[in-house]
Amino acid sequence: MLEYLEQTAGSSISHINNLRIFSETEFVSIDDSTRKNLELDQNLRDAGLSYTLYEVLNQTCTAMGARLLRNWLHHPLTESGKIDARLDRVGRLYRDQKQLVRSREILSSILDIERLTGRIAMERAHGKDIIALKQSAAHFFKLADIFRECDIPFSFITDTEISAAHGIFSLIEKSVLDDCSIMLNEGGLIKKGWSERLDELHMLRDNSNAVLEKYLMEERELTGIQNLKIKYNRLIGYFFEVSKGNLSFVPEHFIRRRSLANGDRYTTDRLIELETELNNVHANINELEQKLFLEIRSTIAEKTGELLLISREIAEMDVIQSFARSATVNAWVRPVFSDNGNMCIQEGRHPVVEAHLPSGEFIPNSICLSSAENAELPSFALITGPNMAGKSTFLRQTALIVLLAQIGSFVPAESAEITPVDRIFCRVGASDNLARGESTFLVEMTETAHILRNATERSLVIMDEVGRGTSTEDGLSIAWAITEYLLEKTGAKTLFATHYHELSQIKHPRLADFCLDVLETEGNVVFLKRVKPGASANSYGIHVARLAGIPDAVVRRANEILANSLPGKTVISPPDESKKEKHSSVKTPVPQLFSEEELVIDEIITLNPDAITPLDALSHITRWKNLLFPSK
């Protein structure tokens, strides 16, 4: 694998020199379906970050922290000791809000040290990268001081790494210009005082006239020719000009270049050398600066291991403060871990749904389950209730609270006592896989089979509407058998939501019935979003269909069929066209659970005015008027 990476990179990858082995029991097992259904870092609508747990939890200030947060979301811990160690660090920063604010300000100034180190190790870093590393190191020292003040221990670094960082900072501070170029062959990289030879070249470039004047004075003293001059032209370059009267004083090291009527022109080896240096001074400076920069970069590359440890430490510090910030903003509490097999969440809330609702509008709910060993609490919660009452939200929030707790974050609840789970399974929604020729029901059964074969007593299983993809009789039978299997064979903590109210007839000491509360008053229905003990007797599906904009004729006919259905009647014939007039003249009294005003308002809200014609709009208005004012 390392050889493949090096071939792909096309250069040395000395900063990657080993593979880390992870144990299957070190992290919570989360399959792809569960990640997708829980919307950890991709929503189900467009696979974006909006309306995901990552969006709510991400208060990181660095790219390193953002990557680590995503990794932690996919790999919750299973050992309560390691989880509590993370929670201790989050708690200390959570209690010191002043230091939390300071740490966020400092982290915002730290660039991606991990990527910068990789570029240095692969010999691709330019001057700006080196300066970015220096600036990030300076802010790291401040961050380390804050964590010491808060008594938050480091996870990866020791005094050795901090000393190495100081050495790198000092090296860059003395050698590389703050406003250096990103091009290595254009100069403008190295500070004055770092190299004596480079300083000489800079002086030669900036004071060329002074250098020539100094040499001229030396030759005047040596030859005694006081009117000796240095001149320049494009043909022969720099030369000494000696008048006719002083030709007898010309020394032997003068080399004649040209004779004129009023004197001769000479050069010397030293003058040729100075001329060459002056002509090539820019190229020499650029070449020397590039050489010095590469030496500096190689020296920094020797500390790659220390820099990577520092980057890991900064990333973890960033995620820790992100957890503390999220707990502060969202009013989350620290979970408590135990080994008694219990999962008791009091007044739990869905972190994503709550974040997108006005403050105080989310209705919290509680749940207490336990493993099969504990006979005091159920291990299986059978949840029934109407559509739109909040069953799916309740199921997902329970899984998300457990996941948040096991990554070391505070949780949205009044309190939470959790025994670490080894696996989280979430079977919700309906989807197909056309490319593989798999129907919706086959996908559903495949995912269910995976759960039944891999769930253990320590697992958390979330199942919503299992068996709805086939006939009522088959679906009910499958859901019933799955319930018995999870109760008798697996013993996993399970939340099972269903519209098969017949499942509430199952009696088992480890099963508890719950339902979503509904308030019916004077023909109106209010979904209270509260979970209470007991089973529901109605799904109110027809009323939800009407709210969604199903035509009134369809809704009225559905109400007629429902009102005329008798117990034991399994087949209901569709209306006969020849008897259409008869059906229309018979008014079956059906209690209306929604007022006409509410239904009209809901229809107006769901109507798209850009998709209808003016004639359709007038028809809608006439129908609404007849509904609201039938006598006029």
The CATH number that applies at residue 383 is 3.40.50.300
User: Are 125 and 211 found together in one domain?
Assistant: no
Residues of the chain above pLDDT 90, percent: 45
Is the pLDDT at 72 greater than 50, yes or no? yes
Three-class SS of residue 77? strand
Same domain, 344 and 391: yes
Domain-located, residue 215: yes
Instruction: Say what the pTM is.
Output: 0.77
pLDDT digits (tens, 9 = 90+) for 291-342: 999 999 999 999 999 999 999 999 999 999 999 999 999 999 999 999 888 9
pLDDT band for position 517 (cuts 50, 70, 90): confident
Give per-residue pLDDT as tens, 488-505. Answer: 899 999 999 988 888 888
Task: Name the more confident of 469 and 50.
Answer: 50
Asked, for residue 379, whether it belongs to a domain, the answer is yes
User: Would you state the pLDDT for residue 79?
Assistant: 94
Q: Do residues 155 and 103 share a domain?
A: yes
Supply φ then ψ for residue 523, to 5 degrees: 80, 5
Asked whether the beta carbons of 15 and 121 are under 8 A apart, the reply is yes
Lowest mean pLDDT among 83-87, 102-106, 256-260: 256-260
Q: What single-letter amino acid sits at 303?
A: K
How many residues belong to the chain? 632
Q: Which domain holds residue 462?
A: 333-533
Asked if residue 276 lies in contact with residue 79, where contact means CB atoms within 8 angstroms, the answer is: no
Task: Using pLDDT thresholds of 50, 70 and 90, give the confidence band for residue 614.
Answer: confident
Tell me the pLDDT band of 407, cut-offs 50, 70 and 90: very high
Domain membership flag for residue 502: yes
Q: Which of 15-19, 153-157, 159-163, 286-290 has the lowest mean pLDDT?
A: 15-19
In this structure, which amino acid lies at residue 500? Y
Same domain membership, residue 377 and residue 318: no
Give tens-digit pLDDT for 231-249. Answer: 888 778 889 998 888 888 8
How confident is the model at residue 632, as a pLDDT? 55
User: What residue ranges in 17-58 does DSSP mark as E strands?
Assistant: 29-30
Burial 72-94 (b: 16+ CB within 10 A, else e): bbebbbbebeebbebbebbbbbb
Task: Kindly state whether residue 610 falls inside one of the protein's structural domains.
Answer: no
Comparing 93-107, 307-321, 406-420, 469-483, the range with the smallest average pLDDT is 469-483
Q: Domain with 227 in it: what CATH number?
A: 1.10.1420.10
pLDDT confidence of residue 45: 86
Residue 615 lies in a domain: no
For residue 624, being part of any structural domain is answered with no
Residue 568 has pLDDT above 90, yes or no: no
Question: Residue 539: what pLDDT?
Answer: 64
| Beta-bridge partners for 525 | 520
User: Which pLDDT belongs to residue 442?
Assistant: 83
Residue 240 to residues 221, 226, 229, 232, 279, Cα–Cα distance (Å): 14, 12, 6, 9, 18
Which of 533, 559, 577 terminates a domain? The answer is 533
> Is pLDDT at 214 greater than 50 in this prediction?
yes
Average pLDDT over residues 154-162: 90
Q: Going by C-beta distance under 8 Å and a sequence separation of 6 or more, which residues neighbour residue 395? A: 383, 426, 428, 462, 464, 495, 497
How confident is the model at residue 435, as a pLDDT? 45
Q: What is the pLDDT of residues 46-70, one digit of tens each?
A: 889 999 999 999 999 999 999 999 9
Do residue 477 and residue 397 come from a single domain?
yes
| Residue 163 reports pLDDT greater than 70 | yes
Q: In this structure, are 160 and 308 located in the same domain?
A: yes
Same-domain check for residues 346 and 439: yes
Q: What's the pLDDT band for 518 if we cut at 50, 70, 90? A: confident
Confidence (pLDDT) at 372: 62
Cβ count within 10 A of residue 239: 23
Report the pLDDT value the prediction gives residue 238, as an integer from 0 to 100.
85
Average pLDDT of the segment spanning 35-40? 92
Are the beta carbons of 240 and 268 closer than 8 angstroms? Answer: yes
Query: Strand, coil or helix: what is 372?
Result: coil
Residue 625 placed within a domain:
no
* Residue 13 lies inside a defined structural domain of this protein: no
With H, G, I as helix, E, B as strand and everything else as coil, classify residue 347: strand
Q: In the predicted model, what is the mean pLDDT of the chain?
A: 85
In a shared domain, residues 210 and 64: no
Better-predicted residue by pLDDT, 597 or 194: 194
* Residue 16: exposure state from Cβ atoms within 10 A (0-12, 13-18, ≥19): middle
CA neighbor of 505 nearest in space, from 339, 370, 384: 384
Confidence of residue 141 (pLDDT cuts 50, 70, 90): very high
Same domain, 456 and 340: yes
pLDDT per residue over 425-445, tens digit each?
998 865 544 445 456 778 888
Among 513, 533, 553, identify where a domain stops. Answer: 533
Confidence of residue 475 (pLDDT cuts 50, 70, 90): confident
Confidence of residue 554 (pLDDT cuts 50, 70, 90): confident
Residue 560: pLDDT above 80? no
DSSP string, 186-223: S---B-TTS-HHHHHHHHHHHTHHHHHHHHHHHHHHHH
Instruction: Look at residues 533, 549, 569 and tell me which one is the last residue of a structural domain.
Output: 533
pLDDT for 207 beyond 50: yes
Same structural domain, 510 and 568: no
Tell me: do 145 and 249 sit in the same domain: no
In this predicted structure, the answer to whether residue 176 has a pLDDT above a threshold of 60 is yes
Whether 173 and 201 share a structural domain? no
The span from the CA of 209 to the CA of 231, in Å, is: 11
Domain count, the chain: 4
Q: What angle do CA 409, 410, 415 make, to 5 degrees?
A: 145
Please check the confidence at residue 213 and state whether its pLDDT lies above 80.
yes
Confidence class for position 375, pLDDT limits 50, 70, 90 = low
